[in-house]
Amino acid sequence: MIAAHSFAGKTVAVFGMGMSGLAAAKSLQAGGAAVVAYDDNARGCDQARDAGLPVKDLRECDWSVFSALVLAPGVPLTHPEPHWTVRLARENRVEIIGDTEVFCRERRIAGKSSKLIAITGTNGKSTTTALTHHLLAASGIDAVMGGNIGKAVLDLPPFAAGRHYVFELSSFQLDLTPSLDPAAAALLNITPDHLDRHGGMENYAAVKAKIFSNMEPGDTAIIGADDSYCDAIAEDLKARPVALRRISVKSKVETGVYLDGTALVEVEYGRVVNTAQLAGIGSLRGAHNAQNAAAALSIGRSLGLPWSVLVAALQSFPGLHHRMEEVRRIGNVLFINDSKATNADAAERALASFSNIYWIAGGKPKEGGIESIRPFFSAIRKAYLIGESAPVFAETLKGNADFVISGTLDAALNQAYADALADRNRGDKVVLLSPACASYDQFQNFEVRGDAFRTLVNSLQSPSQEEAA
């Protein structure tokens, strides 16, 4: 744990007793702050008490004593309307920050002997973060990973010379971290997501751009070149004294890394300096993973690591749970857990990576549904629709792909498996859970959904020789 001394002797309100909130409250307390913890959920309050934290309803507190409100990232800051704690903080001129901001302030106190690497984007940030951590560790770097993946940032090991912190940061976390100052930062892509929480695409893109706000000369900004929002942010960065590297899976770039066929190409001012072949690396299948690899390699290169060492480490990357995760193979039926695909753009990337797909989709729908992935319906042998979105998805698929409304995940998997076994076409058949939806209608989160899928798949019986014939 990192003890947060920057609030020593002060009183801090901490709202939201999930993983990051509990870690922040304990960190602040360990650093000498007086903490008042609270959550709208009784279970969260109980968890805080079990952790030895003082719990009090913040509506009953004198806000003039608070030096800051540390807000959990899942709590609305601006849209659709500010949470009541946010309104109280603003009325009393109390600054509102997140746990990552506390981390950044502590790192400054420690003298920045440890480097910070920050990664964001609508899609791919978890894989890129895990891959970056893997490449650094395989290169002999003391690297730890946290943020929106793995541990809360204040639960990570304390600062030490040469230690590198690799953070995945969501737009919610970025909005609460005004002092973020990474040595290298990557923005992969920007597509519609969480618009209800940001009030539209322009606001969402502006929050994503905050990852570069405090970068200094010598720092490296890595940014996707395949969407207009990232392009606009890159144009603004050209006027800043930072090293700018672009990544692309659609076209060549002047300086950075781009995809050419199945190879990644590193270029400096238009000159090819290195290449790496991705073919055969199962954990990095598909163009979306090529973008993730391009970003991770660019981060490694910004730290001065040899290309050959980084490329060798790509081969041993195990992949990420719930993102194009190969769960099991039964004969020529491959089961893929892509539960982390919580929007259409993420599901599109999975659909583009396979053919002969038996697609399990649905859940709590997001704006736009699956209209944007119509061009990929031809890869779908049949779709199995679950959750709230099933009727809407059915209307989109009607006349474009065969489908059935299965309702639940277990029913969908059993139907998909039976249909895949009955398919006499040669080659792999892929049972793909890539929901294009949030999970909250039937599951607590996408991890629980993916774990349920994995458990169900591992309980399936292999067909007898007569059935397989």
pLDDT over 80 (residue 467): no
Res 162 pLDDT > 80: yes
Predicted confidence (pLDDT) per residue in 136-152, tens digit: 999 999 999 999 998 99
Task: Grade residue 280 by pLDDT with cuts at 50, 70 and 90.
Answer: confident
pLDDT given at position 466? 45
- In the sheet that holds 34-38, the strands lie side by side as 34-38, 11-15, 66-71, 95-97
**What token pair was written down for 29?**
């307390």
Enter the tokens of residue 469. Answer: 């014939």
Measured CA distances, 6 to 272, 390, 433 (Å): 46, 49, 45
Helix (H) or strand (E) holding 276: strand 271-277
Alpha-carbon gap, residue 163 to 145, rounded angstroms: 11
Residue 321 predicted with pLDDT over 90: no
Domains of the chain with CATH codes:
5-97 (3.40.50.720), 101-314 (3.40.1190.10), 325-458 (3.90.190.20)
| Model confidence band, residue 345 (pLDDT cutoffs 50, 70, 90) | confident
- Higher-pLDDT residue of 234 and 196 is 234
385-394 residue pLDDT tens: 999 999 999 9
The half-sphere exposure of 231 on its side-chain side, counting CA atoms within 13 A, is 6
What gap in Å lies between CA 365 and CA 342, rounded to an integer?
9
Summarised one tens digit per residue, pLDDT across range 113-138 is 899 999 999 988 999 999 999 999 99
Report residue 464's pLDDT band, with 50, 70 and 90 as the boundaries: low
The band of 319, judged by pLDDT with boundaries at 50, 70 and 90, is confident
The predicted pLDDT at position 187 comes to 98
> What value does the mean pLDDT take over residues 334-338?
96
- 42-50 vs 19-30: helix crossing angle, rounded to 10: 40
93 CB contacts (<8 Å, ≥6 apart)?
none
Percentage of residues of the chain with pLDDT beyond 90: 86
The token pair at 253 is 């770039």
List C-alpha distances in Å: 30 to 52, 165, 328, 352, 415.
Answer: 12, 21, 45, 48, 53
pLDDT top residue among 286 and 392: 392
Does residue 261 carry a pLDDT above 90? yes
**How would residue 208 be classed by pLDDT, with cut points 50, 70 and 90?**
very high
Fill in the DSSP letter of residue 7.
G
Write down the pLDDT at residue 373: 93
For residue 261, the one-letter residue type is: G
- Residues 97 and 178 sit within 8 Å (Cβ to Cβ): yes
Burial class (CB in 10 A: 0-12, 13-18, 19+), 469: exposed
pLDDT given at position 469? 46
Helix, strand, or coil (residue 243): strand
Residues in the chain: 469
pLDDT reading at 200 higher than 90: no
Q: Decide which of 192 and 231 is more confident.
A: 231
Position 320 scores a pLDDT of 83
What pLDDT, on a 0 to 100 scale, did the predictor assign at position 212? Answer: 98
Average pLDDT over the chain reads: 94
Q: What is the pLDDT of residues 63-110, one digit of tens each?
A: 999 999 999 998 999 888 999 999 999 999 999 999 999 999 999 999
User: pLDDT confidence of 56, banded at 50, 70, 90?
Assistant: very high
Separation of CA 342 from chain center: 10
Query: Alpha carbon of 429 to those of 13, 326, 381, 468: distances in Å?
Result: 53, 13, 9, 13
Supply the pLDDT for residue 199.
79
